[in-house]
């Protein structure tokens, strides 16, 4: 098991190198940061000095090597726009995104899985059909539209919930949390629903499809023939067998939530890393964008590792090799 984790982490190194390279290569074309940073009346000499100071006069590969070498030491450079270390900027804003994404993910799982099971068991029920129609809306409506609609209804028309920001936050050294204040929770509701709705409906449809497949299987028929209670069959035997594909998708989706909550953060002016990225793209802030993409790559590598470990926990067939090696049973 330990060797497996180590090997997976080693495999992550080339992935990160390639992601960094591609990101850096692309950003050479997003615009000229120097022009954006300087005023209209700067001289050519001042301009050349800034280019040299930023290292932009060096060959591309040298720039990339410098960037990766510094990144290896936890240095992501200085933001062109805000003139502050990129790592500070990201870690300042990371808690907002993490809290938003996790809330959305928990919401999606807690609602999506039971709804999927329900629609599979009561396939022809009225409520199940209503869920299916609702899920179609969730899967097909774009996130920004859902966000704007929610703002319109709950913030503008009804005035129940705030339409932007995080509300009051409580700080613990490097982490700021909105979980401890009422205004923090109130601010979280609309963005979390906006971000989680698509995942919720996706999980629901996935669980439903897998459940329908499993409920037709011989071992479910045999469990019925042995007189096991319906509840034990549906939630014990059937649901567990749907978990492997569901874990795969959910893992990727949670990675996606953390990495690409950009649209939701923009709609709700949520002070997370997604909003930071959007603002940075506008002014070609290359260090921030590169660091962001590296972080996302690292995140996906980590999540995939966790997903693989969960497979082992769920499916005994995957554990067999290890057992044979160690001779335990």
The contact set with other proteins (CB under 8 A) reads: 217-219, 221-230, 232, 237, 240-241, 314-317, 320, 329
Q: Are 268 and 190 in contact (CB under 8 A)?
A: yes
Q: Are 267 and 147 in contact (CB under 8 A)?
A: yes
In the bound state with other proteins, the residue whose beta carbon lies nearer, of 90 and 223, is 223
In the bound state with other proteins, the residue whose beta carbon lies nearer, of 73 and 329, is 329
Q: How far is the CB of 120 from other proteins (least distance, A)?
A: 14
Q: How far is the CB of 130 from other proteins (least distance, A)?
A: 22
**Cα gap 166→168, rounded to integer Å:** 6
Q: How far is the CB of 223 from other proteins (least distance, A)?
A: 7
**Which residues make Cβ contacts (< 8 Å) with residue 224, sequence separation at least 6?**
233
In the bound state with other proteins, the residue whose beta carbon lies nearer, of 215 and 286, is 215
Q: How far is the CB of 213 from other proteins (least distance, A)?
A: 13
State the number of CA atoms in the 13 A half-sphere of 167 facing the CB: 20
In the bound state with other proteins, the residue whose beta carbon lies nearer, of 78 and 244, is 244
In the bound state with other proteins, the residue whose beta carbon lies nearer, of 171 and 329, is 329
In the bound state with other proteins, the residue whose beta carbon lies nearer, of 8 and 123, is 123
Q: How far is the CB of 222 from other proteins (least distance, A)?
A: 4
In the bound state with other proteins, the residue whose beta carbon lies nearer, of 166 and 237, is 237
In the bound state with other proteins, the residue whose beta carbon lies nearer, of 55 and 125, is 125
- Residue 14 region, left (φ>0) first, then alpha (ψ -120 to 50), else beta? alpha
Helix (H) or strand (E) holding 170, with range, is strand 170-172
Q: How far is the CB of 316 from other proteins (least distance, A)?
A: 4
User: What is the chain's Cα-based Rg?
Assistant: 24
In the bound state with other proteins, the residue whose beta carbon lies nearer, of 92 and 315, is 315
**DSSP character at residue 292:** H
Both tokens of 270, joined, read: 């949520």
Helix (H) or strand (E) holding 177, with range, is strand 175-177
Q: How far is the CB of 124 from other proteins (least distance, A)?
A: 10
DSSP codes, 33-89: HHHHHS-TT--HHHHHHHHHHHTTTS-HHHHHHHHHHHHHTT---B-TTT-SBHHHH
DSSP codes, 77-91: -B-TTT-SBHHHHHH
Dihedrals phi, psi of 121, to nearest 5 degrees: -75, -45
Q: Are 273 and 168 in contact (CB under 8 A)?
A: no
Q: How many H-runs (helices) and E-runs (strands) does the chain carry?
A: 15, 2
């Amino acid at each position: 098991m330990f060797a497996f984790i180590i090997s997976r982490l080693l495999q992550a190194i080339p992935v990160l190198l390639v992601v960094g390279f591609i990101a850096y290569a692309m950003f050479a074309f997003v615009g000229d940061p120097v022009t954006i940073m300087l005023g209209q009346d700067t001289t050519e000499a001042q301009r050349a000095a800034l280019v040299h100071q930023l290292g932009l006069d060096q060959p591309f590969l040298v720039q990339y090597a410098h960037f990766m070498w510094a990144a290896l030491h936890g240095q992501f450079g200085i933001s062109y726009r805000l003139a502050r270390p990129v790592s500070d900027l990201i870690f300042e804003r990371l808690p907002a995104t993490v809290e938003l994404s996790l809330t959305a993910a928990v919401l999606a799982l807690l609602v999506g899985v039971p709804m999927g099971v329900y629609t599979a068991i009561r396939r022809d029920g009225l409520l199940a059909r209503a869920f299916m129609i609702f899920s179609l809306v969730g899967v097909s409506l774009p996130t920004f539209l859902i966000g704007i609609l929610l703002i319109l209804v709950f913030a503008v028309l009804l005035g129940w919930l705030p339409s932007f920001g995080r509300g009051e936050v409580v700080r613990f050294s490097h982490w700021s949390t909105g979980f401890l204040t009422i205004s923090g929770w109130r601010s979280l509701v609309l963005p979390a629903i906006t971000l989680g709705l698509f995942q919720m409906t996706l999980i629901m449809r996935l669980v439903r499809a897998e459940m329908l497949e499993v409920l037709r299987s011989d071992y479910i028929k045999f469990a019925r023939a042995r007189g096991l209670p319906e509840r034990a069959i549906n939630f014990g035997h059937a649901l567990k067998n749907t978990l492997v594909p569901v874990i795969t998708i959910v893992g990727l989706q949670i990675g996606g939530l953390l990495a690409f909550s950009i649209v939701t953060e923009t709609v709700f002016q949520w002070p997370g890393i997604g909003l930071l990225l959007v603002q940075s793209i506008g002014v070609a802030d290359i260090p921030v964008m590169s660091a962001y993409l590296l972080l996302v790559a690292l995140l996906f590598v980590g999540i995939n590792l966790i997903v693989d470990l969960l497979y082992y926990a769920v499916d005994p067939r995957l554990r067999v090799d290890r057992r044979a090696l160690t001779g335990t049973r």
